[in-house]
Amino acid sequence: MDYFKNLAGLLQIELSHDRAEHELLLSGRSTSDRKSLGMTWYPVQISDSGLGRGDYLQVTFNKTNDFENSHRFRFGMPVALFSNYDSQQDRIHGVITFVNKHQMRVSFRTEELPEWGRKGKLGIDLMFDENSYREMNSAMKDAEILANDPVKGSLVRKLIGLESLSHTEELDHSFEDMALNSSQNQAVQQILSGGDLTILHGPPGTGKTTTLIKAITALLNNSGQQLLIVAPSNTAVDVLAERLDRLGVNVLRIGNPVRVSDRLQDLTLEEKSSKHPGYREVKALEKQARAYTDMAHKYKRSFGRAEYEQRKALLNEAKKIRKDIDRMQDYVIEDILSKSQVIAATLVGANHAYIRDRHYHTVIVDEAAQALEPACWIPILKADRLILAGDHCQLPPTVKSEQRESKALFHTLFEKLVKLYPESVSFLDTQYRMNQQIMAYPAAVIYEGKLKGASTASQWTLAGDAKPLMFIDTAGTGFEEQEEDGAISNKEEAHFLINHLCGLQSDLVSNSPNTPLPSIGIITPYRRQASLLKDMLAESGSHEDIDIQINTIDGFQGQEKDIIYISLVRSNTAGNIGFLSDVRRMNVAMTRARKKLVIIGDSSTVGQHIFYKEFFDYAESVEGYHSVWEWSSM
């Protein structure tokens, strides 16, 4: 089947690029550099160890410093434990079975650590994670086989256009919730109708997650069947899992949640297992196994035949107990799985060892428009019917390879199915986030005029502010971009933005002195500009008590603030605009603001693109167009 062979070929390009990037990132770097990149913990202390399933050694490590920095370690990733006495020779590989900010548990394919593991000066390196690529490739192969089987592969064949979808002629499940608007109620009703495919298209601020939560609870009430809910990121999975749990749904979170809270930890298989009635027996057996193992380890190197036989007998007894432990753990896990109403995982996590062979009547993929298509097929192969939620007019998936062929991965399964089966799309048409002036341009250009503003939000503004939308033009000022080591920034534009923000802050305090200051976000397409803005803001010293977040566009996906500043950065005679040519990214940036949006950029450079040229015309039509010369004293 060429469809899946082509996908597998694109995935191979991405794998090769990703592996090379990882090797380049670590090549020749010191331990300190690797720590700052979030790819090494050093030094670590062992707080616990013991034999786990399959007689693999489970070791728990604690960070001893660097607590404030984030890291890239995640559940299921491969790691290497090393000794800094000889970090190249003294290494042993394992897999993460649990990790949070300061603690990690690793499974090693051995019964005990090497001798150097007892000497201290231990650290853990993050290795290249090929597991997700293996899972995606395996899914491609399985999907290809199913696509050739008209009986077993019916859903797969429909999703790639080889067969027609089956639709319910009439929506036989009436649904109306007074808390939802008409488009949201209609979307839930379509999800309940039982067709092969439902696509929930939720533009910014339209309550996609709220609608999805309502649909999930309605599905559970109507059918009682277990649901699989997945998303491309751990954060997106956590949001759904936590909201469902608050409603009393029995949610099992497979994998480790990123947001470390007691509520989320309580949803994990590990935590639920520890509270299961059968866990007490498991702990008693583990205590016995540990006692036999400890006795066996008292016999070291120089001992005779009798001691050797005694050691062997003790270890054999420990292994027998371990088999009983495994059987009891299997029972506990299966009991928890069977009683869960919702299983929540990432796309790749849908093939976690404990749920790999499970099948579901309905699979729900949230943020599907940000997911690589090969990853989507992992959970889809476990489904009889499919619900996709997302917005293909916002950020596309992350594609690391810059080869021309790799651009095909930006076209997601979500986007393909919207075009193939428009009748399966439920469009949420009312947004509750933005002032009407902020919403109007993306609504017209990106959403074909179908998006409207709720009365509760369309007219809200900051106290004393009559301009919810502003474009400040830097053309002719000499605010030119700089490039250093491939990173682009614009120092003068950043300086102007910070000064303008200080002025706005003063106006807000004057207009409404007893009102808490609004939340503020500063967005830019370029990491170097974001870093520069953070430094300038810190140097200004006047914003220490204000909620101000500075990030790239990708980092702001899914968030909102009362005030948003956007620094476009690009200013050059050649008219190069780089990332700005992807209007989906600019759609994300422009739709984060509730009450005020200020965009700063060079119209002579950026305006050569039709999207921006028409935006400048729109800004002028609502009296929001300004020149930076109006603030020449800055």
C-alpha span between 529 and 488 (Å, rounded): 7
Q: Taking the domain 38-128, which CATH number applies?
A: 2.40.30.270
pLDDT tops 60 at residue 43: yes
Alpha-carbon distance of 134 to 129, in angstroms, equals: 10
Quote the longest CA-to-CA distance of the chain: 94
Residue 94 CA to residue 96 CA, distance in Å, equals 7
Q: How far is residue 39's CA from residue 31's CA, in Å, rounded to a whole number? A: 9
C-alpha 372/C-alpha 14 separation (Å) is 11
Residues forming a β-bridge with 387: 198, 364
CA dihedral 291, 295, 301, 302 (to 10 degrees): 180
247 vs 31, residue with greater confidence:
247
pLDDT at residue 301 tops 60: no
- Residues ≥6 apart with Cβ < 8 Å to 273: 279, 329, 332, 333, 336
The whole-angstrom separation of Cα 509 and Cα 513 is 5
Question: Band of the pLDDT at 140, cuts 50, 70, 90?
Answer: very high
What are the CA-CA distances from residue 172 to residues 193, 429, 574 (Å)?
6, 23, 58
Do residues 391 and 369 make contact, with C-beta atoms less than 8 angstroms apart?
yes
What is the CATH code for 451-631? 3.40.50.300
Q: pLDDT tens for residues 234-286? A: 889 999 999 999 999 999 999 877 776 778 889 998 889 888 888 777 777 77
Q: What is the pLDDT of residues 536-545, one digit of tens each?
A: 998 877 655 6
Helix (H) / strand (E) element for 562: namely strand 561-567
Q: What pLDDT score does 279 carry?
A: 77
Mean pLDDT of 525-535: 94
Q: Tell me, which fold does domain 132-250+341-427 have in CATH? A: Rossmann fold (3.40.50)
Pairing of strands 103-108, 91-99: antiparallel
Closest among 571, 238, 236 to 394, alpha carbons compared: 236
Residue ranges per structural domain of the chain: 38-128, 132-250+341-427, 274-338, 451-631
Contacts of 186 (CB under 8 A, 6+ apart): 426
Q: Report the range of poorest mean pLDDT among 244-253, 269-278, 485-494, 576-585.
A: 269-278
Please check whether the two domains, 38-128 and 132-250+341-427, share a CATH topology. no
- Determine the residue type at 625: Y
Q: What is the dihedral of CA 245, 247, 250, 256, to 10 degrees?
A: -10
